Amino acid sequence: MTGSSASDSSCLIAKSKTNGTEMNGNTTRNTYTAIENNTYSYEVIKDIADYLLDRTTIRPLIGIICGSGLNSIADMITDTKVFEYEDIPNFPVSTVEGHVGRMIFGYLENMPVMAMQGRFHYYEGYPLAKCSMPVRVMKLVGVRYLMATNAAGGLNSKFKVGDIMLVRDHINIMGFAGNSPLQGPNDPRFGPRFPPMTNAYNAHLIKIAKQVAKDMGIENEIHEGVYTCLGGPNYETVAELRMLRTMGVDAVGMSTVHEVITARHCDLTVFAFSLITNKCATGYDSSEDEANHEEVVTVGRSRQAVCGELLCRVIREIAKECPNKAQVK
């Protein structure tokens, strides 16, 4: 369907109600709509992508997700076309402070991008597949790279508040408990039933980011490490943090992992970093170390210019490597 509008969302529902979907050789009859089922079918996601593409001539190659307090990364985008989430058919809304709820199409370093100012979290009541559904929209829009940012608590004793951790790998703890954004029937148009995650975070882009950090003179504020996502919304107990540290976690948050799994499933190249907004308390006597969201957002806002510059410079390097992809408006 093309040319749909916000008021057409009922039409999407009606359409998916009548569809039987062929997935991995099995015929799955959708007796409920994809959305009532809390999973988004390929057709519904395609409709969302078409809604966006019908309203702009920008064809993004890079998808950006702004973490808590990091909205202004997207303010650097030029020649913008802005979509409020509430106007996009079948799109969830952001309910968290520091996540404004806007999809911005435009250009960074002459590269066409789309950026989410506001992501969806499991603790908001959204299932993981719904939290990461916008990544599939990005894929169907034509995006090749996902750049995800987040605010996270620093567990590694070397990390200071305000430092940036380039995500080298993640531990999918929610997956240990059987919760995955890929749960349910697999649609091979997105990717395989059993996707590998060995090189989820692109090593070349990490290398570029490290060089960029040197060029910016912030090499002492940049680290590489392992991120994990917990369900939230509560922050961690001391015992939980001690366990995570033993497991090899360097930074802990409430997002990104399911987005990256979804991105790798549909073969997007992934780059991600965490802004360390607080130091995790691994002792009971450190009451000043108690995490709170106000501090998370404040630290995010104070460091978003640096985070934005890092991201832009990495994009500049990507543009150099694929000059035919960069577009002059």
- Residues with active-site annotation: 68, 99, 121, 123-124, 151, 254-255, 278, 293
- Of 62, 106, 65, 61, the closest CA to residue 82 belongs to 106
Of the candidates 6, 197, 218, 291, which one interacts with ligand GUN according to CB under 6 A? 291
Burial zone of 69 (CB within 10 Å; 0-12 exposed, 13-18 middle, 19+ buried): buried
- Binding segment toward ligand LQZ7MJT6, per CB under 6 A, in 71-79, 128-136, 175-183, 248-256: 248-256
Of 65 and 88, which has the nearer Cβ to ligand LQZ7MJT6? Answer: 65
Q: Smallest gap, in angstroms, from Cβ of residue 232 to ligand GUN?
A: 6
How many residues comprise the chain? 329
If one asks whether residue 152 binds ligand GUN (CB under 6 A), the answer comes out as yes
| Contact of 110 with 77, CB cutoff 8 Å | no
Of the candidates 71, 255, 262, 269, which one interacts with ligand LQZ7MJT6 according to CB under 6 A? 255
Q: Smallest gap, in angstroms, from Cβ of residue 256 to ligand LQZ7MJT6?
A: 6
- Of 255, 246, 132, 230, the closest CA to residue 176 belongs to 230
Of 294 and 321, which has the nearer Cβ to ligand GUN? Answer: 294
The SS3 call for residue 199 is: coil
Give the dihedral sign, CA 37/231/261/184: negative
Considering only residues 202 to 241 of the shown chain, the ones binding ligand GUN according to CB under 6 A are 230, 232, 235-236
The SS3 call for residue 21 is: strand
| Contact of 172 with 182, CB cutoff 8 Å | no
- Of 160, 138, 145, 165, the closest CA to residue 67 belongs to 165
Q: Is the peptide bond before 233 cis (omega within 30 degrees of 0)?
A: yes
Q: Which ranges of 54-131 does DSSP label H, i.e. alpha helix? A: 128-131
| Contact code string over 225-244 relative to ligand LQZ7MJT6, x by CB under 6 A | -------x------------
User: Which residue numbers belong to the known binding site?
Assistant: 68, 99, 119-121, 151, 236, 255, 278
If one asks whether residue 121 binds ligand LQZ7MJT6 (CB under 6 A), the answer comes out as yes
What is the CB neighbour count within 10 angstroms for residue 230? Answer: 20
Of 171 and 291, which has the nearer Cβ to ligand GUN? Answer: 291
Name the residues that contact ligand LQZ7MJT6, by CB under 6 A.
Answer: 67-68, 96, 119, 121, 150-151, 232, 253-255, 293, 296
Name the residues that contact ligand GUN, by CB under 6 A.
Answer: 151-153, 230, 232, 235-236, 252-254, 277-278, 280, 291, 296
